[in-house]
Structure 1
Amino acid sequence: MTDFRELVRQARDEGIAELLGGVVVRDGSGRILLVRRSPEDYLGGWWEIPGGSLEPGEHPRDGAARELAEETGLTGLALAYLHAADFTGRTGLRARQFAFTAAVPDGAPVTLTEHDAHRWARPDDLPEVSGHHREILARLR
């Protein structure tokens, strides 16, 4: 079992300023749910996995589940830890996203609140995603 308290402490010791949670959602056909950032947002038009910043003291799994529910309406999914990837955030500070996986049946309804589109993509046919999302998705292979 992963000790997230230790992983969070280690991230802080390494100078990571922002912690995030994200979820790689796969459907029954093995496709990955991606959401597209609105054009006016930072990295507008790019695709990403659902996720966002953790609240102070929030467990990464809880934060990932919260962000998934807020951004897509998907709730009650079993999350399994996949990988953590570092990147430089919009403020120029170092950030680390803890990524989890979850599964849904084909045709699961997605209700967007923060993004302008969603799509189900095959892992070998991804649209434009950031480097840290590509790193996370490569862990699925």
Structure 2
Amino acid sequence: MLFSQLLFVCHCNPTCKLGYPIDEIPVYKEDRYYVHFAQNLEFLEAEYFLWSSYGYGLDVMEPCLTKGGPPPIGGQKANLDPFTLNIIKEFANEEIGHLRAIDSIMGSITRPLLNLTSENFEKIFDEAFGYNLEPPFD
């Protein structure tokens, strides 16, 4: 590689530009409900993975995406091995990207109050299996 090519690569803008203007992507009024429902799931996934891997959530990583919504209840850092930790961090960053995409295309909703306590997940898994797990899910 020539020095001039290397210099060009090093000074390129790392931000990807879209090939079309954002305002030309139609989001029909009847679709907004479904996108906002999906956005609630994205909030849950983002907070779950952020708290599990980093020990904090959107309020630290991307506070503008919360739109002033309340912080989740009971989030905590998981005890993960380094390999799994890196995977969960990738998931967390991917979910932030999903929230950014929704926000940039059609605007965002306020983050709902999320319950990330181990007791809540224990209850969900007990109901899913139809009996109380022993030891409880955590």
Q: Which of structures 1 and 2 has the larger relative contact order (alpha carbons within 8 angstroms, sep 6+)?
A: 1
Q: Could you state the TM-score of these two structures normalised by the residue count of structure 2?
A: 0.23
More strand by share: 1
Q: Could you state the TM-score of these two structures normalised by the residue count of structure 1?
A: 0.23
